[in-house]
Chains A and B, each alone.
Chain A
Amino acid sequence: MKDVFITDMAAISSIGNSLEEMLPPLYRGDTAVDNITRFSTEKLEYHKGACISGLDSNDDDNRISELTKRLMAHIKSPPERTYLVWTGIKGDVEFIESRAEGKAKTDLYLAGHYRKLVAKTLGIEDSGMEINAACASSTMGLALAAQLISSGSHSSVLVCGADIVSRFSFTGFSALRGLSATVCRPFDKERDGLVLGDGAAALLLTDEETTKKEGYKPQARLSGWGIANDANHITGPARDARGLIKAIRSAMDQAGLSASDVEAFCAHGTGTVFNDAMELTAVESIFGSRKFPLFSIKGAIGHTLGAAGAIESALSIKAMKKKEVPPTTGFINHEERTEGRVSSRPQNFPGKNILTTNSGFGGCNAALIFENL
């Protein structure tokens, strides 16, 4: 099997218009969570979101398209025959919202629309697919891309995704009572819900031959991945974390790592009571009482849905380079299982490898392990 290298990456979120711009506020513990002005929340119980300032729809296109175009400006031209995997999960919401308000003037965007936009913007051949696995979409996109490269099916794969704070999603999570009325506090004892955020990310995966041929400087190796379903509930996580445990173990086995080898863990950490409890259960099951850095970035940039895994992967790779994981913004109060793991301050680690996971509706779980080079 071939090695899989991450050779280019880009991200945009509410705390920065590029990956480099995101790092200083993220490591300071800043948050972009603020009152939403994009649509009225007056009659709802929740009002907070992490929106990108100045991200507007216009006569030509919608917010997700605009975000995608901004993202592509940060990606160097990939090889002509690069396979594209789009992982945004709600590309149709702006169409649905406009239609309901009697303003729809564009064609319906089917799943392939944004992949074609990426191909056109980058000037490469349109070949590829979309993956929708709820909030684990881009994580699974990266996992599939890794397999396509390691098996020799493709030599380069660009995984990208973008999702936004939409009225559609906001009212939905509000109806499910999954939102926080204040701030997002992942793993905090007093956590009370998630906050949605705008975000987009893209990662280019290449095999060794392409990496050398194109003169890329590889930033990390994607050395293991796992995907598993809870088979428990369609919206709630399994209390015993069975799916996440299976996904993490599968990724560790593939990477050849034991529980004592994993140095840091970028968790899904949505800030909901049940998700974070499930993740802590998985940590205890796999790592026992071992203390090592565990963090979530969602207190800083919100939950970016399908794009979350790609953004977190890119930031995890940056964390390996810095040998320091960012703080868990919003975290204040420990419970027993977070002691010595979660911190409101940056934490040092050796920087050789990092685990990142995401979970979502439908019982989806995915885990990735990156190794530093």
Chain B
Amino acid sequence: MELWISGGAWITSEGYGTLSEEREINIGEGEPVIPEAKELFDEPLQRYGRFDSFTRLGCAATALALRDADMAEKQRKDDTTGMIISSDYEILNTDIDYYETTLDAEGAFSSPNLFSYTLPVIVLGECAVYYGLTGPTFCVGDDALYGLKALESAAAMIAAGKAQRMIVGWLESPPERSKGIEGEMRPSGAVFIVLDAIPAKILFSKRKLSYGNNVFKNHKNQKITSLMDVFARENER
């Protein structure tokens, strides 16, 4: 099976960039540098500035990836696009914040707004509403494989004919240290690509992925083991 990468984007503590820019991704310690709304959206995305870090990071990476694929506007009425992201911490920060609101008066003043955001699929819902995505949308966990399971699942949706295009992402926003969670935390950031069944624009062959026997390979026949690899291998000269 052949798939095409129409665009991609990343956001880390060192900044943000796109696949077309062919810059190396470095996922370091610290909070990701999330772009302002005016850099991402032609029409306002309601509540973007008030989103939790997970949702804001996911919406920003989606916007950058779609723009890199020249689809930010064209996408809006498209009926064939889905979105799958992988995350192991999911939306734990918001879970903790929400639960704090339940502790007074035995839960009588729990926050309905925060509770609504205690599912990782909410970021998919926000993107679906904004971009008109009506294809398959779900989140996966993948044991720190940086999006590989999301990529496999997206390929499965395309192979089944349930979508022509999938936005695929790795998205993590681990609990803040101030929340007192112990143990080693994985880095925070987002790496997203736009995966197409057929190339949506003229693409060089190096934007092609092959998938067979549960293995992804790039145009150089190199094995892809994460979404980071898609960018790293792409940038190899």
In the complex the two chains form, is A172's CB within 8 Å of B88's CB? no
Taking A151-B160, A362-B119 as known contacts, 14 extra A-B pairs with beta carbons closer than 8 A to each other, sorted by chain A number, are A99-B96, A129-B149, A133-B137, A134-B121, A168-B95, A172-B115, A229-B82, A231-B134, A233-B125, A234-B122, A234-B129, A243-B134, A363-B129, A364-B137
Complex formed: what's the CA distance from A42 to B106 in Å? Answer: 8
* Those of B88-116 within 8 Å (CB) of chain A: 88-90, 92, 95-96, 98-100, 102-103, 105-108, 110-112, 115-116
Q: Mark A105-142, 1 if CB is under 8 A from B, else 0.
A: 00110111001000000000000011111101100100
Q: Are A43 and B107 in contact (CB under 8 A)?
A: yes
B206 contacts the other chain (CB 8 A): no
Chain A residues in the interface with B (C-beta under 8 A): 40-44, 86, 89, 92-93, 96-97, 99-100, 107-108, 110-112, 115, 129-134, 136-137, 140, 144, 147-148, 150-151, 153-154, 167-168, 170-177, 226-235, 242-243, 246, 250, 254, 360-364
Q: How far is the CB of B126 from chain A (nearest CB, A)?
A: 6
B136 at the interface (CB under 8 A from A): yes
Task: Please report the C-alpha to C-alpha distance between residue A92 and residue B179 in the assembled complex, in whole angstroms.
Answer: 15
What range describes how many residues of B lie at the interface? 35 or more
Can you identify 9 A-B contacts, CB atoms within 8 angstroms? Answer: A93-B95, A131-B139, A147-B159, A171-B107, A174-B107, A229-B125, A231-B132, A231-B133, A364-B124
CB-contact partner of B135 in A44, A112, A229, under 8 A: A229
Complex: A131 Cα to B153 Cα, angstroms: 10
The complex places the Cα of A360 from the Cα of B143 at a distance, in Å, of 25
Query: Which residues of chain B are near A107, meaning CB under 8 Å?
Result: 182-183
CB atoms of A110 and B141 under 8 A apart: yes
Selected from A89, A154, A175, the residue in CB contact (under 8 A) with B119 is A89
Q: A231-B129, A234-B116, A360-B121 are in contact. Are A151 and B156 (CB under 8 A)?
A: yes
Q: Give A209 to B142 CA distance when docked, in angstroms.
A: 28
Q: Given the interface contacts A43-B107, A172-B112, does A229 sit within 8 Å of B183 by beta carbon?
A: no
Decide yes or no whether B181 CB sits under 8 A from chain A: yes
In the bound complex, CA of A206 to CA of B188 (Å): 37
User: Do A364 and B138 have beta carbons less than 8 Å apart?
Assistant: yes
- Is the contact region of chain B dominated by helix, strand, or loop, or is it mixed? mixed
Provide the bound-state CA to CA distance between A164 and B82, in Å. Answer: 29
In the complex, A147→B138 CA distance in Å?
15
B122 contact from A170, A227, A243, A361, Cβ within 8 A: A361
Q: Is the CB of B137 within 8 A of A111?
A: no
Is B162 in contact with chain A by the CB < 8 A criterion? yes
Given A96-B99, A175-B111, A111–B141 Cβ distance below 8 Å? Answer: yes
Q: How far is the CB of B114 from chain A (nearest CB, A)?
A: 8
- From B90, B135, B136, A111 is in contact (CB under 8 Å) with B90
A362 x B95 contact (CB < 8 A):
no
Contact A175 B89, CB 8 Å, known A42-B106, A134-B121, A234-B129: no
Contacts of A108 in B (CB 8 A): 92, 175, 181-183
Whether A129 and B140, one on each chain, are in contact in the complex, defined by CB atoms closer than 8 angstroms, is yes
Q: Contacts A92-B95, A362-B137: A229 and B119 contacting too (C-beta < 8 A)?
A: no
- Residues of the A chain whose Cβ atoms lie less than 8 Å from the Cβ of B92: 92, 108
B122–A147 touching, CB < 8 Å: no
Other-chain residue from A132, A170, A175, A230 in contact with B139 (beta carbon distance below 8 A): A132
Are B133 and A130 in touch, CB under 8 angstroms? no
Identify the closest chain B residue to A97 (Cβ).
Answer: B99
By the criterion CB–CB under 8 Å, are B162 and A227 in contact?
A: yes
B107 lies within 8 A of A44 (CB) = yes
Give the docked Cα–Cα distance between A254 and B160 (Å). Answer: 9
Indicate whether B232 reaches chain A with its CB closer than 8 angstroms.
no
Residue of B103, B119, B149 touching A361 (CB-CB under 8 A): B119
10 nearest A-B pairs in the assembled complex, by CB-CB distance: A111-B141, A362-B121, A172-B115, A130-B141, A362-B125, A171-B107, A227-B136, A133-B138, A234-B125, A175-B112
